[in-house]
Amino acid sequence: MAVYFHEEDLPEGVLAPGPVAVDTEAMGLVTPRDRLCLVQISDGKGDEHLVRFAVGSAFDAPNLKAVLADPARLKLFHFARFDLAAIEYYLGVTAAPVFCTKIASKLTRTYTDRHGLKNLVNEMLGAEISKQQQSSDWGGPELSEAQRDYAASDVRFLHRLHEIFVQRLEREDRTELAQACFDFLPARARLDIAGWGDKDIFSHE
């Protein structure tokens, strides 16, 4: 297992075919304001790739964009809503089709309100991940080893979680409902970008 660090794009041919786990790091939580700094991606074979974008980047990353926009590749996220918005706003591509482990957790782990990645990895895989670097400065000139390790851990477990959640969704007869949620996520991300982030457009009010 290794963590590979790249500047501005993913090298061609480093990912095996099949689903990819994806995560992003930004300067904050407001997508149009807080620039995209890092995209993490893994094919689930044991390596993680980190692609950093510098201040003033043109986000011209043809190899990364091709993977994210590939309709034949399932993209695995945890809280896909945020990552999809960042990817669409800065990279200009829609990363679909999608599977979101946070949504899958809320649909199957109804016995708890703890749906963070750390909770899922601990309960379902018996492993520990640290969230200490979650709110660190991702836009600095250098990323520390702790930041790199944290970023890599955000995609390291998603393939295994996906396998478990596929089984649980089927067991609870919620696969179709989950898929409908996943299919809507790119539109939900666009609503966030357009200013409806805190509005429920389906509500009566």
Beta bridge partner(s), residue 75? 20, 98
pLDDT of amino acid 113? 97
CA within 13 Å, CB half, 4: 14
pLDDT grade, residue 116 (50/70/90)? very high
Tell me the pLDDT tens digit for each residue of 31-74.
999 999 999 999 999 999 999 999 999 999 999 999 999 999 99
Angle at 119 between CA 115 and CA 125, to 5 degrees: 120
Which tokens go with 124?
């379902």
Domains of the chain: 3-196 (3.30.420.10)
Tell me what pLDDT residue 205 has.
Answer: 83
What pLDDT does 48 receive? 98
Measured distance CA(42)–CA(142) in Å, rounded = 22
On the question of pLDDT at 132 being above 80, the answer is: no
* Strand-pair category, 36-42 with 48-52: antiparallel
Give residue 130's pLDDT: 78
The DSSP letter of residue 78 is S
Tokens of 12: 């061609």
Instruction: Measure the CA–CA gap between 158 and 90, rounded to whole angstroms.
Output: 23
Mean pLDDT of the 15-19 span: 98
CA distance 64 to 141: 21
State yes or no: pLDDT of 27 exceeds 70.
yes
Query: What rounded mean pLDDT belongs to the chain?
Result: 96
State how far the alpha carbon of 36 is from the alpha carbons of 52, 63, 130, 137, 166, in Å.
9, 17, 22, 12, 30
Query: What average pLDDT does the segment 147-169 reach?
Result: 97
pLDDT reported for residue 1: 80
